[in-house]
Amino acid sequence: MYTWNFAPSLVFGLTFQAIAYLACIGPLRHLFPGSEPVPKKLVLAFMMGLLTFFIALVSPIDRLGDSYLLTIHMVQHILITLVGPPLLLMGLPRWMLRPLLYLPFALPIGRFITNNIFAFIVFNVVLIGWHFPVLYDAALQNIHIHILEHIMFIVTAMITWLPIISPFDELPPSPPAIQCMYLFLQSLPPTLLGAVITFSNTIIYPTYAEAPRIWGLSPMLDQQLGGLVMWVPGGLIFLFALSIIFFRWFGRDEYEMAGDGFA
């Protein structure tokens, strides 16, 4: 029950990302045009992002969510969509990925996928789509479908955070007012999805109805708690990011107004 998932693809993949990142900001940094020393806070953010994915996909959270509790599976989904991706993006120095923009059509494609409307739609279609019972249970029953689900979650989550935390000067974040509106709208789908799961009068996912019971949680109570996990943290993380952006924006305007007053 409390087993770890030491699948080579996961362990080697996360290890490779850590080594590659440290090599690029260290001994290989001179190979990147315009590179600069990376502040420790960026390194910490990137490593915390990798640690989040390690906890979500390698630790017993993975087994508990797959085989026993919807609640834990929802925790895993929050970690790989709303916690890990923004930390990784925050940890990337702007010069590291710039060579990717030299590839043919990279800049137009980048502008398209960082568009707020596209990022909003693609993330929420994937998030809500995979929580339909037929797809959700299919992922629980088939490891290959489950891997596809997680890949789609992570990729679209990275896209959905790009209008807020872009690691490219050539693809800057949206203006603060647009970011605030975007994050508010992003908080709604997980809130609604969580509410639907929480208030359902029937067991939505048959796999969890048949799963061995642990921690004294009945299938219905587990489903209600799982819905609350998606509902509350799922919405609050976006609103927390909105608050940070709003107060930075407000503080900057206050500073500029004060400066104008002294001019």
CA distances 86 to 1, 56, 205, 234, 241, Å, are 30, 15, 29, 14, 10
At 34-79, the pLDDT tens digits run 899 999 999 999 999 999 999 999 999 999 999 999 999 999 999 9
Average pLDDT score over residue span 10-29: 95
Report the percentage of the chain scoring pLDDT > 70: 95
The enclosing H or E element of 237 equals helix 219-262
Assign 23 a pLDDT band (cuts: 50, 70, 90): very high
At 91-110, the pLDDT tens digits run 999 999 988 888 889 999 99
Query: If you search the block for the tokens 């050539």, which residue do you land on?
Result: 170
| Contact call for residues 1 and 63 (beta carbons, < 8 A) | yes
The mean predicted confidence, pLDDT, of the chain is 91
- Domain segments of the chain as ranges: 8-262
pTM surpassing 0.85? yes
Q: Quick one: pLDDT at residue 87?
A: 97
d(CA 166, CA 93): 10
| Contact call for residues 178 and 116 (beta carbons, < 8 A) | yes
Buried b (16+ CB within 10 A) or exposed e, 146-177: beebbebbbebbbbbbbbbbbbbeebebbeee
- The torsion angle over the Cα atoms of residues 125, 154, 141 and 214, rounded to 10 degrees, is -110
Q: Quick one: pLDDT at residue 111?
A: 92
Assign 198 a pLDDT band (cuts: 50, 70, 90): very high
